[in-house]
Chain A
Amino acid sequence: MIKTNSLPNCFIIIISFVLFGFLFAQGKYKTSEKIRVIESMDNSSEFIKRSESLDAFLEEHESLPPEYPSIKNLPKNINPIHPRQISAPGLDIESTISSRDVDFDLRAAIHLLRRTTFGPTWEHINSAHAAGLDATVDALLEEQPAPEPPGDWVDDPYPPDLTPEQQDSLNQAYREQRAELRSWIIDSMLEEGINVQETMTLFWHDHFATSAQKVNFPPAIYNHYALLREYALGNIKDFVKAMALDPAMLKWLDNDENRYRHLYVTGTLDDWTGYGRKLLDEDEDGIYTKTVWMESGLHQYKYTCGGWNWAESVPDECAYNTEWHNRGFRLTDSELILDSHPWSDCSDVGEGPRTVNFTVDMTGVDLQGGEVHVTGTMDSWSGFGLTLMPNGDGTYSGSMELEPGVYEYLYTVTGDFDDWSGWGMYGNPPLGSHCDWNPTDQWSNFGFDLFNSDTVDLNNVWSECESGFPSDQSYTVTFTLEDNPCPLAGINENFSRELLELFTIGVGNYTQEDVVEAARAYTGYTTDGLETFFNENRHDFGSKTFMGQTGYWTGDDIVDIIFDQEETARFFARKIFQWFVYYNPDEQAIDALADVLRENDYEVKPMLEALFKSELFFDETFRGAKYRGGIAHVLSPIRQMYITDIVPPAGETKNRILLMFQEYFGQALLYPPDVSGWLGYRNWINTYTLPYRKLFTNAVIDGYIYDYPMGFQPNLLEVASHFPNPNDAQQFIDDLVLYFYDIEPTDHTRQLLLDQLLQGLDPYNWSLTIPEAEDRLKGVFKLLMRYPDFQLK
């Protein structure tokens, strides 16, 4: 039959992804010790199965939000409040990080403990004051043993084979596990002594802000938090390297999807699997090649980045098949080196017409007096095309000039016998034979391309294959492609950008190219949620130029280069300053702290020690200049009111009410608003959060919030008895304001508090033993915590 129009070639689209071929050749690769290297993608391994199954689960199941008790008068839905506010008063201070002139009086001791713990008790304060600054800072920086995990579930792998119903119930169980985990963290914060590790763990949680909202797999979140705690007082450079490969982080910033894609040629050589043969660039000249043995005949192919998601689409002018935009070539009787193409583009096919010589052997064919013609796409299958002249030996020849391109043709005989219809007889290759131009369609034509040669000689036999095509012979074909887009097709910049912007050096100190190169270095990591694996087949082993340095960088190398930058130490010093001292950094102090950090090869403790012993830290201007964050605002009143036995109401889970209020205050533990963490500073206080903050402290003193029991009840008389002189009204009020306020209040404030305590009583008649003492204490404690001063530390 004659082909005038191709039918869709369904062949290609039905080919689906099959796991692609594995390369064993890359050899051992330096990476962090904890990470298992996968040398091949083994479809049957438990890990791959778990990982893929977990991925599908995460894709389908949203992390269920935390459940909170329903309380009269409070809204069911808590609106996360994450404002952004950046201005702060300028600083003009003389204090430095020198420790010479620190006067570690009782008020200084309270200041230090307010900033480094979740609220000191009167006994903490006195013992710190008695021990002195050096001993207190030593105690603060002493690393604590890791607590027992919240449950056995922390080691549970994600089960690979579950029905949708089982998955739903697992999702519910995960919600409970997250609640246990959060409560467990609250417990360890409530139970801390004079030690900064819990506060530093929260600092790092804020820094590497990873949310359980996306990482819907509790063991991963547990391990993430354990890692934060493990390195809280450790080496920052090592910490960043470990965090980069943490399973929760890989999921959170999509780095488990950040991968290298190889370049493949697929086509008739592999029945269009989408993978075919991998092209390599061993000499790193940007040109990728692959040589394969192929049978002589007509072939079609195209380049892909593995599978059909990324496959090139070849322009019509050099496509063998314009329906599917495939490339092609004729493999005749010798090896073939194909010209280098750019992706989805033609190589230079040149301009102007070239000569095509047609010869057909008509021996044994009865021409019935007619003429031999060649017809095809060049004359739109008119049947006449070019008239061939006899050579006298049974063959007929003719030449024509054609523009570069791809042509299909066949031979016809026409004459009086068919009334010059053009189609008296036709000679085309046998259907599906090796010289059938497109063997998979219903047509059977000869064909040729006119790209790279000045002349093409076509020798055919009437109704047989081209004589130049020996069947069953194989020759090598070399495929070549330049400008390979695949290495960048699979990368995902999410992690590498935040690594630079938020985790190590900050905006303005790197370029977009650095982001891409760091992403390339961090390709190849995958996780099943518990462990991280390095998949060599997905890693970009090529050379990268990062921050001006060129090499075969891995992720760890990237981190090393970042930490060689001057600015990196300043970045961490600034964040530490902002966390412990004030939002607006003092650049002189930052320089000094950064020096300490660099001198100690990024160990965090020496820098903290220098800061906590500095004049600057105790400067009067910074007293009360920090806001208590949402979590601290929940924990401080509880610790400072000596509440230790929290028994949740019947049917309620432990600490859930505390977690709920953190959320009202805009700081839900394990749910930072985004990867930049909580914004802090004045953002903690707005017209939404401030009324809730005061409602909460009232509830702590009452033991109830509206009609809902808090699960604890402070013993106010007992609390008062911790103070040295609770029966001296004036002295007691002075001690209380010292205990709760970092800024010295005015006499007016003291007077209001005293009035609240005495309510007309003569001061000499006040004592803890009078019948109304408990009521009076209740009023005073509530008032103390409702005044704006209590919001600051």
Chain B
Amino acid sequence: MKRRRFLKNSLAIGLGSTLIPKWIQPLLANSDTLRDKGQNRILVILNLGGGNDGLNTIIPFTDDNYYNLRPNIAIPQNEVIPISDSLGFNPALAPLLDLWNQENIAIFQNVGYSQQDLSHFRSTDIWRSGSDVDQYISTGWVARYLETLYSDYVENPPEEPMSLQQGSTDGLLLTGNEGVPGVIVDDPSIFYNLVNETYENEYNNVPPETVGGDELSYVRQIDNNSFAYAGVIQTAAEMGQNTVEYPNNSMGTQLSIIAKLLSGGLYTPIFLTHQYGYDTHNNQLNDQNSLLSVLSSSIEPFFQDLANLGLKDRVVLLTTSEFGRRPFENGSNGTDHGTAAPQLVIGSKVKGGIYGSNPNMTEFDSNANLLHEFDFRQLYATILSEWFDLPYTDIENILFHPFETFPIIENRFSHNSDPIRREGLMGIPKDFTLSNAYPNPFNPVTQMTYGVKQNSLVDIRVFDLKGRQVLHPVHKVRPAGYYRLNLSGRSLPSGNYSVVMNAGNTTRKTKITVVK
């Protein structure tokens, strides 16, 4: 109700229109676009703040060096929960065993980066910005991804928040080049009430062109974001539900709210959650065990809940932590700052298992720390490519370098049952199109892209010069979008052919030449 009044008033005032968010104008397409581009898939990032000790999380329990280096804080062999012949869970991770047995947990070993910075704060920034160790980037990789999906959000915000942070937050992750593509929400209904009690709808001001004016614009953006999304989030929370009990702690609450919002129909591609306290310089055994047990006893019901709600195939959870800890224990029954550590990717679509080798407990870097095997950005690239189905060129733009990815998602493209990889030239074509082939002439394979304006039956055939049909690669109903066609000329003799595409009462042709 309040919102409607706001719309009217703002339009009536009509001042400083560049500062008035355009979502006051009709915005039907926006959230659909966000949903489409994000493949209707959801990523939950769970940050273990303080630097989680990987060696006591996924334990190399057959490695004597592990026990030698940690005379007082190693997890005894008989307490480890084996998950392979040489690795085991910390006993506090017992609640995750079912997910592991269902092959829903991918464990990436030795995730880090070269020349690890041992500062919490700098290393956290590196993980969040996705920068090189000697590079200072003031935007976060998540924000850059969201801006790739939807660049116009400051002027023209999508109807649902692009990301939602629970509990403590990561500003940097959600700092983009344009603004802040996300909201921080604790309790949805309190948020809604507060915003409606305090939002000043008539306010409108043109900030001066000073540094102070920039800051004023920032406050206004946050103000508008909270108003824009309070109702949407509240509605989703009211429509949604939880089907299982979560532990009564911050971690459990954070995950339960996510499940509830998703079940209430909110589509927000990225959720950020947090658990703090992993900086175990002393008394590590007690402290880490209780943290891990809170963690595992919250994740377990979360996935159970998602399964009950029919959402399990839409969600993947990724853990992050700024670094692992020193393989050697320190003088206080704890560990000092280290380097590489295992990170988990969890979800029903995830191909579970252990990726990478056991930590090398004999060769260390110059600070007596573990050597990394995977760059943390390989995880990001893997999620962006495998889960969000983002083209490599976009991924490289987001992460500044190409990174090798891993096929960790089952039936990646089952959502459009397309045997040809949908290479997502983003956007919807204005017409039906068929590109020239490249390479051309070719042997044995060439590639072309075709565009589908609206949901239609697409038929593509290849004819020789005498008009005989020699191939019939596509005959399918396709949703709007761009598609890539790989064409093999193996069965064809050398010569010229024409490719003919029929869709939506239009015909498109292109010529190809096979040279053998």
Contacts and interface: CB of A to CB of B under 8 A. Distances in A.
Contacts of B215: 624-627, 682, 792
Given A80-B168, A692-B194, A676 B331 contact: no
B198 A497 contact: no
A377 B31 CA distance: 80
B186 A792 contact: no
Interface in A466-501: 489-494, 497, 501
Interface residues of A, number: 79
Interface stretch (B117-125, B344-352, B410-418, B436-444): B117-125
Interface stretch (B21-29, B150-158, B222-230): B222-230
A261 B331 CA distance: 9
Contacts of B167: 79-80
Contacts of B245: none
A787 to B, nearest CB: 6
Contacts of B200: 694, 783, 786-787
Given A86-B175, A679-B171, A687-B184, A259 B331 contact: yes
Interface string A299-322: 000000000011101000000000
B218 A742 contact: no
A679 to B, nearest CB: 7
A77 B257 CA distance: 15
B250 interface: yes
Interface string A525-559: 00000000000000000000000000000000000
B456 interface: no
B198 A695 contact: yes
B336 A743 contact: no
A783 B208 CA distance: 21
Given A84-B170, A309-B71, A254 B212 contact: no
A83 interface: yes
A467 B72 CA distance: 44
Given A493-B337, A742-B212, A686 B125 contact: no
B274 to A, nearest CB: 9
Interface in B113-146: 117-122, 124-125, 128, 138-139
A608 B407 CA distance: 58
Interface in A120-142: none
A380 interface: no
Contacts of A742: 212
Interface string B316-351: 000000000000001110101100000000000000
Contacts of A74: 190
B194 A691 contact: yes
A366 B216 CA distance: 109
Interface in B83-124: 117-122, 124
A792 B204 CA distance: 16
Contacts of B376: none
A765 B41 CA distance: 62
Contacts of B78: none
Interface residues of B, number: 72
A746 interface: yes
A389 interface: no
B169 A789 contact: no
Nearest to A313: B68
Contacts of B219: 685, 690, 788, 791-792
A582 interface: yes
Chain A residues touching B, majority SS: loop
Given A687-B222, A687-B229, A787 B117 contact: no
A683 B215 CA distance: 12
B27 to A, nearest CB: 19
A743 B213 CA distance: 8
Contact of B203 (A344, A497, A788): A788
B204 A690 contact: no
B119 A690 contact: no
Interface in B386-411: none
A507 B122 contact: yes
Given A74-B190, A690-B223, A746-B205, A621 B330 contact: no
A748 interface: yes
A628 B499 CA distance: 66
Contacts of B193: 73
Contact of B128 (A84, A620, A788): A84
B220 A788 contact: yes
Nearest to B50: A674
Contact of B330 (A492, A674, A686): A492
B428 interface: no
Contacts of B128: 84
Contacts of B266: none
A688 interface: yes
12 contacts: A80-B167, A81-B168, A82-B168, A84-B128, A87-B138, A91-B211, A493-B330, A515-B118, A682-B171, A687-B185, A743-B207, A787-B203
Interface of A: 59, 73-75, 77, 79-87, 89, 91, 254, 257-259, 261, 309-311, 313, 344, 489-494, 497, 501-502, 507, 512, 515, 582, 584, 620-627, 673-674, 676, 679, 682-683, 685-688, 690-692, 694-695, 698, 742-746, 748-749, 752, 783, 786-789, 791-792
